[in-house]
Structures are given as C-alpha cells and as structure tokens.
Structure 1
Amino acid sequence: MTSLDLNLKHHIHYSLRPAVVEYLWGPQSSRVNILGQAKNLEGFFALYFGYYNKQCDLIGRHAKGKYSSVESHRDIMGIAQLLQQPLTREEVRKHMSSFLKVADKEQHETSINLVARLLLMIKFGDVPHECRGGRYLEWSYGSLPEFVHNYFSCPPARSHDRIKLEKSFSALNLQRIAGIEIWWTDNLADHLRMMDDDKAIAVFHHASFLDYQIDNHANSPIFPDGFIEETLRTIALLLPKYDQATRNWYRKVASNPGCHLDMQLVEIGNLNAESRQLENFKYWHDRLVILKQVYDDARPTTLSQWWYDRRNGAQWYPFWIALWVLVLTTFFGLVQCIEGALQAYKAFRS
C-alpha cells in the first residue's frame, strides 16, 4: 500500500514524495532554478526525506509513538495545512483534535513541534532524548508565520564599520586559515551561528530546500520577505560557485561515507563586490559580523595556516623569506659541520 494513510512507522514511498512536497510547500513551478533537472529533484527528495524520516523517528515513532498524537503521514499533512494559516498555536491544537486520535495536550504539542520542524527545517521544541547540538526554538504564542517573522526580523544590533567581506572570505578559508570548523546543519535557525567556543560555524546546507521556498513564498509566506534569497546569498558568499578550490573541497567533504550533503550548495552563484557589502544583509547581518570578527582575529598557529593566510601581505612575504633563510642557513651549517667532521676523520686516519 502506497498511501499517505500509512502508519508513521512506515517511511514515505518514493512515489508519494512529490505529493508530500506539494502538501507542505505547494506545487513546483517552472521558475525553480536548482530543481530544474530530474537528477537534482531526486537529490532534493533523497536529502529532505532523510531529514523527514529522522524527525519522525525522533518524535513520532519514539517509544511506539506514545509522545505524539500523529499516527499517519496524512495526519502530518493535515497539521501542516493548519500551521500555514494565521492560526494561533492553541487554535491549531483545537483543529487537530477533530482528525487525530484522542490524546492529551502534551502529545498534541509534540505533534505540532514535529510538523513545524518538517515544514520549515527549524528545530522546534525540546526533545529530551534528542542528541544535543545547536538550539531549538520555543514557539508558544501567535501563529507560526507570525513567530517566524518576528524571530528572523530583529533589526541588526552590531556595527559593521570597517568590516569588509573580501572575496577570500569563504568557508574553505575559514577552515584552513582561521582553523574554524564547518559544521553542516539541518537546522535553519542555527545557520551562521558560532559553535564550540567560537571554534566552529554552523552552515545550513539544504540549498534545494531553500530554492523551493522561493516558489512557495507567494502561496504561503511563512518566511519574511527576502529571507530565503538572503540566506542563499550567504551560501554563495561562503561557497562561491566559480571558486574551483572551494568546489573541490566541498565535493571531497560531501563524498565521505555517511556525510549526506546537498551537492547543489556550490551551485548557488557568486557575489560581486557590491553584493558582499554587509549593509545588504538584513537577517544574517549580526552573525556575519561576528563570524568576520572571529576570522579577522584568528592568527595562524601552523605552517599550513601561515601558507594560506595572505590577508596581510606585509607579514606573509617577510615570514616566508625569513623561514627560507633560516632553513638554508641551517642546511648549509649542517653541511659544513659534516664536511669538517669528515676532514677531521681523514686527518686522524692518516
């Protein structure tokens, strides 16, 4: 049986994936850039439904579903339709009661968090048995679109005076120059958040999902105006399409066993000098400012980092000239010592 009425313990059949996507975000139009080819669309489905199954396992199927009131995939689609309307959380819960199994308030609340996660790829609600990492959002008032708009639309609070996003400011250089690890995340709310005592940065890698949301915005504007486009521009900033070194590095990372990343992440595009100005970033402004400050403050600690760190040419050239002078001096000094020892040995033997 391949139906949305399947019990949640069964994964979505591949033939139903297009229908589920339409339930969640509306039909795909001809405008979709990344999803224009069947191969890319299949890649999107594989990645998203991997996330879908993971969330259902975590919340809907855990402990035989006793924490959730959702029983089938159609239940999820029904709640998704409610969440996209201007209904408060309490109103959503009341409407859910008409088509879900009899359950207590806590089970309905958990079901709302599950579907909100599936709809927006944002971690909603604290799940006690969930592996910790990143942050979760606690939506308790107003409608879901209203909450999301308010959360992401906070005005920038940090000054960006004298801070420039150079062409060399990329995910690859964050790692090999500043030693900042890239943590790929499924949680959009963690995008560009500094982690691990400023030693890592979270990057949302589901570019295909973001591209689909541009189409969906006209039908169901859950995200603020321009938010998705700006998020894609932050990805183009960190993973420029025409930087071959970055493309090779990302493809190597994505090819690691067990590493399921969106290969379209390096197909977004490039930003020119004008587009890289920080005043052009409204929603991710403060996180970009923090990231750039951490990057600028980082100092090389290994030879590899010294080699790639060419942010200050006045320091880079003298350092490597001095290093080569030291190496050559040591080498020739060692040669002279060996030569002197050999001469002394020959004189002693004679």
Structure 2
Amino acid sequence: MADIPMFPRGFVTHEHPFQLEPKVQQYVKEVFWPHSKASIAEYASYFKYFQWAISVLAWPDGINYEMQFCMKTYQDLVKITRYMELHPDFDRSKMAEELECEFPDADPGQILRSLDLTARLWLNLHVRSQDFPLGPSLSDMTEIDWLEKGSLNKLVEDCFQPSSYSINEQNKAIDPAFTIKNLRRFCRINVQWTANLRDHLLYDRSTATLHLFPHKICLISHLDSWNVLPKDFVAETLRTLDLLFPFGEEDTRKYLDQTGQTFYRTSSRDLSRATNFGEFRYWHKRLIELHGVFNQAPRSILQLWYDRRNPLQWWTFWLAALIAVLTVVFGIISSYTGFQQLAIAEQAYQLSVWQICSQPNPPTAYCKT
C-alpha cells in the first residue's frame, strides 16, 4: 500500500471527487481503527466523506494541493497517525519538529498541514489552523484552530467541555417523543449532516437547521481502538444518536434510508434510551436547547395538526376551530339568505306598484304621470 498515492494525480475537483478503491478503504480502516471488527460496508458513509475531504482541498479548481503536504502515500498517513497516537500530549510544534526526520525533504508548513489533515480524517474534527490553513474556508463547518503550543489532547479538551448545569436541569426528564421524527414533524426542523464532531447537535435558529454527526461506526471504532477521544465522550455521543434515532422505529428507519444514512443498522453497546438530561455531560447544553425548541408552542397550522402530544389540548383546539369555521360559514349563509329575501321583497313591491299603476285613474302618490 506504500506505493499508492494518497492524493490522486488525475482530474479532481470538488465537483468530480476521486473514487477510493476497496483495498484502500480497508487499509485506511486498519490504520485508523485496527481493532474494529466492522465490515467496510458499514463505513460507506464515512468513506464518502473521506473522498470529499481530499477533493475539497483542490478548491479553487486546479490548485496543486499535493505539494502542500509532506505525506504523499498512505504509508505516510500511517507514520503520522501512529505518531499522533503515541504522543497526544506533545505540542503541535514539537510534533512537527520530530516528524522532520521522517520527512527530511518537507518544510514545516507541509508537516503542519499534514498533522491537521490527519486529525480531520481520523478524529472527524474540522481542523484548520490559522498559521497554515488547510483547504478552503467552509461556511457550514466550525473551524478548529490547532495552536502551535497546543497538544492534541488539549485540542480535544477545548472542543468538548463538560457542561455546567443546575440541579433542576440535571434531573429534567426527557420527553419520550423527543426524536428526530417528531422534531421534523412538530417543529419543522431541517437536518444537516456534518462530518465535524464539533458541530454535532448545533442548532441554527435562523434557519431551523440541526447539525448531526452521522458516522456512528467511527465512534464505535474509537471506543475499540484509541483513547485520543475520551471514552465517556464517545459513549455519550453514541447515546445522543440513539436518543434521537430510537431503534425499532419504522419512520426513523425510512427517513435515514431516504437520506442515504446507514448508521441505523449499526448497533451500539448500550441500547437503553436516556430518560433525563443528567445522563449527559458533554452534550447537555445543546440537548437542553433543542428540547426547549421541541416544547415551544406550534407556530403554524401544519405544526398544530401534527403535534398531538397533548390529545385533550389538540381536540379542544380543533373543535374550537371547527366551531369557529362553522359559525363563519353559517353566518355567510344567513347573510346571503337575507340579501336574497330582500331582493325578492323588492321585486314583489315593484310588481304591486306596477299592478296598481296599470289600473284606470291610479293614485298619483304611487304612480308617475
């Protein structure tokens, strides 16, 4: 695999991504997650992202992005991944300095960009450091700046801080209906899939868009392989997916199939569904915010129709609406009937006047000469 180039030399743009061969996919899986027993098919969604992440480096089209990195082959990717795995407490600058012996012909910028790209592909973190930016700036992903004096462990720690919450929030129960199916139906929320773990559960109120990380198999593989991402953080992230996409729900399965996501078929170790927000530390704040959106009063007729969490309230509202509509309808019918009766009375009056005036010597008070 060492002689296979990591960056394709053919015509590649963001609109025409390269295709990752199955043997290369298997190799990358063994590099990133050597203890994973999952099949390559389960990584299908992730490798689509992998291909896209490499292709996007070609923006603007035609740029020679291969020269921006010290790693040229997949064997080079192994060297950097293994080094980052063994030295997650080293500063980024120290990592680059020590990797110079592995890549003697590379300049510091090429090594630093390679470190960033490896973190992006391996840990699903959209690392784009300010000193040597990696690829174009993307509006739909939060950029993560890996500081020169910051370690990989510090980078992860800064991205995922445990939330602080009050006792009331800690014990707050989660509505059993709190699922993606109902968030989309009741709140008209749009789902945008993101390969950046930093953006998982990020909700944009201005566009009613919820960002969700779909690469469940990668999280499970991290649990089996490495400690760079904290185990409790990874396990909790899996529980958020199981919370929003409950196993055994047919509508959820159909929605994921329609959107091309296959993680519904990937089973987590803990199949129990969370019942209160105290079970979440890292994602607590975002879940609380999303739950608040879920509990907001419906703001459209369509939301009112689908939101049947409170049957008594739902029937009361729609019966009142029906009575109001019937009142308006009968009022319109009554008004129309009144106008018709008035028109008929006017016609009868005109007929009576005509009959009187047609007689000899009609009264001048009713008839005009």
Deviation per residue, 1:107-135 (Å, 9 max, x gap): 22111110110111111115462321131
Task: Indicate whether 1:113 and 2:113 are aligned.
Answer: no
Is contact 2:126-2:196 (8 Å) kept? yes
CA distance in 2: counterparts of 1:158 and 1:197, whole angstroms: 25
> 139, 143, 151: which is aligned to 2:146?
139
CA distance in 2: counterparts of 1:137 and 1:130, whole angstroms: 11
Partner of 2:71: 70
Is contact 1:240-1:271 (8 Å) kept? no
Is contact 2:7-2:54 (8 Å) kept? yes
Task: Indicate whether 1:233 and 2:239 are aligned.
Answer: yes
> 248, 258, 263: which is aligned to 1:242?
248
Give the match's secondary structure for 1:226.
helix
Q: How does 1:1-350 map to 2 (within 5 A)?
A: 4-9=3-8, 12-29=20-37, 35=38, 41-44=40-43, 46-59=44-57, 63-65=63-65, 66-87=67-88, 88=90, 89-100=92-103, 102-126=105-129, 127=134, 129-140=136-147, 141-149=149-157, 151-152=159-160, 154-159=161-166, 161=168, 163-197=172-206, 199-216=208-225, 220-252=226-258, 254=259, 261-265=260-264, 268=267, 275-296=274-295, 298-313=296-311, 315-335=313-333
CA distance in 2: counterparts of 1:208 and 1:306, whole angstroms: 37
CA distance in 1: counterparts of 2:74 and 2:59, whole angstroms: 12
- Report the alpha carbon displacement of residue 311 of structure 1 after superposing the two structures with TM: 4.2
Question: What runs of 5+ residues in structure 2 fail to find an aligned partner?
Answer: 10-18, 352-369
CA distance in 2: counterparts of 1:160 and 1:307, whole angstroms: 35
- Report the alpha carbon displacement of residue 238 of structure 1 after superposing the two structures with TM: 0.7
Is contact 1:182-1:201 (8 Å) kept? yes
- Report the alpha carbon displacement of residue 12 of structure 1 after superposing the two structures with TM: 3.7
- Report the alpha carbon displacement of residue 73 of structure 1 after superposing the two structures with TM: 2.4
The letter for the 2-side match of 1:109 is L
Is contact 1:59-1:68 (8 Å) kept? no
- Report the alpha carbon displacement of residue 228 of structure 1 after superposing the two structures with TM: 1.7
- Report the alpha carbon displacement of residue 192 of structure 1 after superposing the two structures with TM: 0.9
CA distance in 2: counterparts of 1:246 and 1:345, whole angstroms: 60
CA distance in 2: counterparts of 1:225 and 1:104, whole angstroms: 35
TM-score by length of structure 2 reads 0.77
Is contact 2:119-2:127 (8 Å) kept? yes
Question: What runs of 5+ residues in structure 1 fail to find an aligned partner?
Answer: 30-34, 255-260
RMSD: 3.1
Residues matched between the structures, number? 326
CA distance in 1: counterparts of 2:291 and 2:21, whole angstroms: 43
Structure with max Cα Rg: 2
Give the match's secondary structure for 2:68.
coil
CA distance in 1: counterparts of 2:81 and 2:99, whole angstroms: 10
Is contact 1:187-1:204 (8 Å) kept? yes
TM-score by length of structure 1 reads 0.81
From the superposition, tell whether residues 251 and 286 of structure 1 become closer, same or farther in structure 2 (CA, over 3 Å). Answer: same
CA distance in 2: counterparts of 1:239 and 1:121, whole angstroms: 21
Is contact 1:79-1:115 (8 Å) kept? yes
The letter for the 1-side match of 2:85 is Q
Partner of 2:15: none
Deviation per residue, 1:146-200 (Å, 9 max, x gap): 5324542x33223362632111111122222223322211111111112254722
- Report the alpha carbon displacement of residue 313 of structure 1 after superposing the two structures with TM: 4.6
Report the identity percentage.
26
Is contact 1:180-1:200 (8 Å) kept? yes
Is contact 1:176-1:308 (8 Å) kept? yes
The letter for the 2-side match of 1:136 is E
CA distance in 1: counterparts of 2:210 and 2:125, whole angstroms: 17
Give the match's secondary structure for 1:8.
coil
From the superposition, tell whether residues 333 and 244 of structure 1 become closer, same or farther in structure 2 (CA, over 3 Å). Answer: farther
Deviation per residue, 1:320-342 (Å, 9 max, x gap): 11111122333444455566677
CA distance in 2: counterparts of 1:59 and 1:101, whole angstroms: 24
